[in-house]
Structure 1
Amino acid sequence: MENESNVATDCFNSEPKEVVMEIRDWSELTSVCLTNIFHRLSLEDRWRGAMLACRSWFEAAKDPTLFSSFDLEPAFDAAGAGRPDTPFWWTPAFQRRVDAMLRSVSEFGAGGVREIRVRHCSDASLSFAAVRSPNLQILSVKNSQSLTDASISIVASYCSLIRELDISNCYEISYKSLEMIGKNCPNLIILKRNLLNWLDPSQHTGIVPEEYLRACPQDGDQEAASIAQFMPGLKHLELRFSKLSIKGLVWITERCRDLELLDFFGCANLTSRSLELASAKLENLKTLVKPNFYIPRSVFHAERYGHWRLYDERFQTNVFQI
């Protein structure tokens, strides 16, 4: 009872007691503790915060386990507010920023990088990353106008574990890259090879360089042939706005029998009817996206394509900063 009385007296004592705050030096935390904390932070928080605090934090923030995944897509989505692209992202200056980050992550990861999702990177930086990432399983480099077959050949040679590849809107990458990836990456089950909407280029005016828009790949059937021959294990295939014909469609559906998702939105040489017939024998198919869209009168005869519904997602602009 006496102890309880003392406690009560202390609690309601009108005389405030002096509180002594212990000052701690957070820089003296062990690297194990720091790494554990940094695992709970976002990529941006580590990059802009922890790495800039002090030398010990910088060293801890480079722990390879923190770089198994390098995903910039959330940053792109946030900066563009869900819109596909902004003019600044297509500049050499922005490409250098992305390249610098990709190179750093590849070095810090020490061979443990399993996922890379970036945009607008160069041949040099992707090759650098591929050589240092033998365990890479997911690679997304869409909208990278400088990428060519040269860097994809390096990816195919050093990253045989890849199971997901997104090379959408990479116009300097040809069917040869699809062949190399198919031959060397037997685990590949997801391929995204979408193109920009070439049917209505006005959607990209002021954002994507005009010369790049004019370089839209024409070899849709050759790409389809490469996919059919070298990627028979695919389960997910996206070929939006591809210029393949019914012949290329048949090759794919006859050879890639495990497909669960097929996306041919915007493929002007295909009809919904032909797609339904060609895919009828795909027993595992769950999702089929038909080539339904609107084609401006200035591109094709409206009476031929008048039954296709409106597709008018306008690109907007913003400034992305890393």
Structure 2
Amino acid sequence: MNCNVSFLFLVVVASAGSVHTLRLPRSEITDPIVESIAGRLSALSFLDLSYCNRIGAHALEAIGKNCKMLLGLCRNMHPVKTAGKSSLDDEAHAIALSMSRLRRLEMSYHLVSTQSVLEVIYSCPELEFLDLRGCHHVELDEKFLKERYPKLKVLGPDVVDEYERNEWEEYSDFSDFSEYLAWEFVAGEVGDYYDNESLDEMWDDEVRLEDLELRFYEGIEDAGLHGWAPSP
């Protein structure tokens, strides 16, 4: 594992038992890492794995089987990574099979088909918000959804220039995380962001991390970008 992933692994394992909110956009975390720590994330209610290109259905299935309290998942992708490719439904199948309690799901620019999206909707009866912006293989019958799932708000598949944040907040209990612990990493410069004393203090038995955010950037010039169609 590179230094970013190794440090991420240590942080998550050390605090996993008390983490309710975990944001890992753009990290290099892999399926084996997720599978090895998923059992320690039983308290997790919100997870952001957007733009994590080294994980797939196996990681999501492990999360779903071990995180029974999970209500929100962000699994947005970058359009550059998915442009021109055929639909790939294995992640949607994993979500449908193992995350039935989801209320919020973001899968913008994901390689999903209409059939797999409907499978998710059928399997997650409590779903209130579904972000499908940029999922160009998906065609949904709006009339059918309104009649069958009146509480479900679907954003996309068409991408619009403006999005009213207030409208989104009506459908989510996850829209305001005012207090969380965040590290922002630039590849190759992790050492500048922490020291051993601060980590020892953070991992003290009396300290409980409930909201944890780690962001990974490929370079300093990329640090201001959060990907296409960011989470509201």
Structure 1 partner of 2:26: 143
Q: Which has the higher contact order (CA 8 A, sep 6+)?
A: 2
Q: Deviations over 1:151-187 (max 9, x none)?
A: 2113312121111010011111001111111000011
Alignment of 1:291 with 2:167, yes or no, is no
> In proportion to residue count, which structure has more helix?
1
Tell me the distance in 2 between the aligned counterparts of 1:291 and 1:214: 14
Corresponding position of 2:34: 152
Q: Is 1:246–1:274's contact at 8 Å kept on the other side of the alignment?
A: no
TM-score with structure 2 length normalisation?
0.63
Output the aligned Cα RMSD: 2.9
Pairing 1:251–2:134 present: no
- 2:104 is aligned to 236
Distance 1:147 1:217 in 2: 23
Q: Determine the C-alpha separation between the residues in 2 that align with 1:254 and 1:232.
A: 9
Q: Structure 2: where are the runs of 5+ without partners? A: 163-219, 225-232
Aligned residues: 166
Mapped contact 1:224–1:249 kept (Cα < 8 A): yes
Relative to its length, the structure with more strand (as a share) is 2
Report the alpha carbon displacement of residue 270 of structure 1 after superposing the two structures with TM: 1.2
- Secondary structure (helix, strand or coil) at the match of 1:288 reads strand
Q: Alpha-carbon deviations, 1:69-92, whole Å to 9, x = none?
A: xxxxxxxxxxxxxxxxxxxxxxxx
Is the 8 Å Cα contact of residues 111 and 137 (structure 2) preserved in structure 1?
yes
Question: What are the equivalent positions in structure 2 for 1:22-171 lying under 5 Å apart?
Answer: 96=3, 99=4, 122=5, 124-133=6-15, 134-144=17-27, 146-171=28-53
- Asked if 1:181 corresponds to 2:63, the answer is yes
CA–CA distance in structure 1, aligned partners of residues 85 and 25 of structure 2: 15
Gaps of at least 5 residues in structure 1 are: 1-94, 100-121, 199-212, 294-308, 312-316
Using a 3 Å threshold, how does the CA distance of structure 1 residues 215 and 192 change in structure 2: closer, same or farther?
same
| % identical equivalent positions | 27
Deviation for aligned residue 1:127: 2.1
Q: TM-score, normalised by structure 1?
A: 0.46
Q: Distance in 2 between matches of 1:243 and 1:279?
A: 24
Provide the rounded CA distance (Å) in 2 between the counterparts of 1:319 and 1:243: 24
Give the Cα separation in 2 of the matches to 1:214 and 1:190. 23
